[in-house]
Structure 1
Amino acid sequence: DYPRPVTYTVAPCKGDAWFPWSDTIPLKQGNVTCGNTYSSNPEPMLADVVVDTDGSLILGFRDRYADQIGQGQRAVAGGGLLTPSAGGALSRACPDSTGKFVMAENMGCGKTTRGAGFYDQQRTGFHFNALFSGIALSKVETTIASSAIDPIGTTFTGGTAWTNRDGS
């Protein structure tokens, strides 16, 4: 676990962490009531692993909550319809001096701040954890392709986004 930026800025429950898997729609995050509106509650699934040319691992985490809930569900009977927002992650894990892989968010890959991601994952002012699994890597290209929410900056869209392999 590591600190994460909020997933969806306009939601009462902003999804600013990874949350345990649950088969029910959460009614709260910490002390915040989620309500019947926009919703983000990222539950991680490691869905893709790609080995980069330097031996580092590129990890694609998908959001189980967004896959499970779907658009237009009710959190409580008689409540409004939920609009869930996916909160995945594209991460990198590099070997340390003992050969164990350490994720960038846990201060691997040259990062010095815990929670600092390796890749730029923001695609709009609303969705900060927009990249998730579905990784494609061409070893001669400088970018990585990943499935994403709002890949071109238009809200409520999905498709392919590109981010720089070197994390810049």
Structure 2
Amino acid sequence: MPAYAQQNGTGISGIHFNTASPMGVIPVTGFGPDNFRSSHSGAASDLQQAQQLIASGDFVQADSLLATVIGETPSRQARFLKGVAKLGLGEAAAARRYFEQSLYRGRNGHPGAMSGLAIAEIRLGNVDAARNILHKLEYQQEKCGHGCDRADALKQAVGVVEKALA
């Protein structure tokens, strides 16, 4: 189940979770089902549980669960969620590291990971780095246009980063 970004809700400005959320948020990760597969049979359910823990604000439990999952799978989504948990725990430097690990697929950065990275950079006082990420998101958005599969995710990520920079 993909993670979602939006304003407020988890105590972390810029990130919401769960498609069943009454908040009706737009996906901003670009993580597809192939990124969730691993040899660890419980990884998908562990990721879903971690996502629910984060959505409920239980960052300590999510962080602990994700430490195990990350040891068993190369999943970029697990690293993304770990970054969100670290942001929730106030550990921006660790969050940055995990967002960086979840960032790329091919030549494009995942919008959710990029917006999470920008938030971590802002919390670390690196506003110029966050602006650079915003420019990269805007460039991807321009190249993507309105018809590509990442258009909504890019639009939402740009909005999240713009609001965080405001």
TM-score by length of 1: 0.30
Structure ranking higher on relative contact order (CA contacts 8 Å, 6+ apart): 2
Q: TM-score, normalised by structure 2?
A: 0.30
More strand by share: 1
Higher helix share: 2
